Structure 1
Amino acid sequence: MALQPSLRRALVIAGSYDAPHTLDIFLDYVCPFSAKLSLTIESVLRPFFDKGGKYEGKVKVIFRNQVQPWHASSTWVHEAGLAVARVSPENFWAFSLALFKRQGEFFDIPTSTLTPTQVRQKLAALSAEVIGANSKDAVLDLITLKTSPNGGVDVTDDLKYTIKFSRQNGIHVSPTVLWDGLVANEISSSWGEKEWTEFLEKKVLV
């Protein structure tokens, strides 16, 4: 699957971009099932695909931001992820894991009494814990409204790209996983090492 060049360094979270097989994994930062799968990506898939792994050079994992607008904060959390992808692409996945682990702070009820600006400030503060305090202002600047009254933020174009990609491929919910461009409905957020091992043994042919 294609990936906008400016996002390639950040969103390829395991394996190398030129690997012949692709796992596109659509995740929403405020989805509990996405959070569950994120831990499996870290503990099972990355060791398989990164340097020294059984499938090194054969499979890559692309993180696909899946905004789910029935959660009001979904847009804001994904803006923050894309801001980190610009400011510190090498730390995008680490920030994503941190956000998944603390996603409860950004659920519907905890954010219902906060303004969008306050939520964005909380996200920038979280980014500082991962990428350093010196980068906090840069992240906050990218997710701050400061242009026309309806012009979005500095990562709005990146957000539009991720949303349009999901829409044109008929992705509706998270997590959704594609193997080499086709939806793999059998994959579950409950899968562990056993299930992934069996799946990859059948699918990785080169």
Structure 2
Amino acid sequence: MALQPTLRPFILGNPAAPHTLDIFLDYVCPFSRKMSNNLNLTVKPLIERGGKYDGKVKAIIRQQVQPWHSSSTLVHEIALAVARVSPEKFWEFHLALMNGQEDFYDIPSSNRTPTLTRAKLIELALPIVGEDKREALAELISHKSTPNGGTAVTDELKYTIKFSRQNSIHVSPTVLWDGLVASEISSSWGEKEWTTFLESKVLV
């Protein structure tokens, strides 16, 4: 599947690998958190350097913004900002954001303005990307000078949303194998299920 070049940090494994897992996740979805942690333990070691499927399978993390959660746009913005300023730290931050998602659920977020939520997200990122990235992160997720111009990562956010819409992705998590929905894949899959799936799909 295609991917805008600025989103390359969202790729796990060799970008040139012929097989692709497109994994649509939302940062305030508990099932996306479960899938992310299982991917980290099972799939990531298999497809990265030295793994059994190194050079054969890549995974692309696709952002699936769920607008019925008020903070969903904001948490996806910070992921894009981290990918921009510290691409090598993206996956570490991805896991931290997933595992800290309860702070950004509907009720906790209801008592904060978007500006305060963005500030809280920057604080979540700084232990991973470094204090020296504070200003760069803040600049990327701050509103532009025009009243309705979005932020510096809005264009990338639009890309991810348009990609989901044109591929009729509705729920998170959703996984595609080589461009087709693999409905059998579950967020609860562990080593046994992922191993069996990959062995059946990667034949050479």
Q: TM-score range by the shorter chain?
A: over 0.9
Do the aligned residues in 2 keep the contact of 1:147 with 1:153 (CA within 8 Å)? no
Q: Any idea what SS the aligned residue of 2:119 has?
A: helix
Superimposed CA distance per residue, residues 16-35 of structure 1 (whole angstroms, 9 cap, x where no aligned partner)? 10000000000000000000
Q: Superposition RMSD on alpha carbons, in Å?
A: 0.7
Identify which of 38, 43, 46 aligns with 1:45.
Answer: 43
Identify which of 180, 183, 187 aligns with 2:181.
Answer: 183
Aligned residue for 2:100? 102
Runs of 4+ in 1 over 3 A off after TM superposition: none
Q: For 1:88 and 1:130, how far apart are their aligned partners in 2?
A: 9
Aligned residue for 2:111? 113
Q: For 1:173 and 1:139, how far apart are their aligned partners in 2?
A: 28
Superimposed CA distance per residue, residues 87-144 of structure 1 (whole angstroms, 9 cap, x where no aligned partner)? 1111111111000111000000001010000000001111101111111221111001
Matched to 1:119, the amino acid is T
Do the aligned residues in 2 keep the contact of 1:27 with 1:66 (CA within 8 Å)? yes
Q: TM-score, normalised by structure 2?
A: 0.98
The alpha-carbon deviation at position 148 of structure 1 amounts to: 0.8
- In structure 2, the gaps of 5 or more residues are none
Paired positions, count: 204
Moved more, 137-146 or 183-192: 137-146
Q: For 2:63 and 2:80, how far apart are their aligned partners in 1?
A: 9
Aligned residue for 1:11? 10
Q: Any idea what SS the aligned residue of 1:149 has?
A: coil
Superimposed CA distance per residue, residues 58-88 of structure 1 (whole angstroms, 9 cap, x where no aligned partner)? 0001010110001010000000000111111
Q: Any idea what SS the aligned residue of 1:23 has?
A: strand
Q: Any idea what SS the aligned residue of 2:28 has?
A: coil
Aligned residue for 1:73? 71
Identify which of 163, 167, 170 aligns with 1:172.
Answer: 170
Do the aligned residues in 2 keep the contact of 1:124 with 1:137 (CA within 8 Å)? no
Q: For 2:171 and 2:52, how far apart are their aligned partners in 1?
A: 30
Superimposed CA distance per residue, residues 141-183 of structure 1 (whole angstroms, 9 cap, x where no aligned partner)? 1001132111100000000000000000000010000000000
Q: Sequence identity of aligned pairs in percent?
A: 65
Aligned residue for 1:54? 52
Q: For 1:146 and 1:124, how far apart are their aligned partners in 2?
A: 18
Aligned residue for 1:142? 140
Q: For 2:88 and 2:111, how far apart are their aligned partners in 1?
A: 33
Q: TM-score, normalised by structure 1?
A: 0.98
- In structure 1, the gaps of 5 or more residues are none
Q: For 1:24 and 1:146, how far apart are their aligned partners in 2?
A: 31
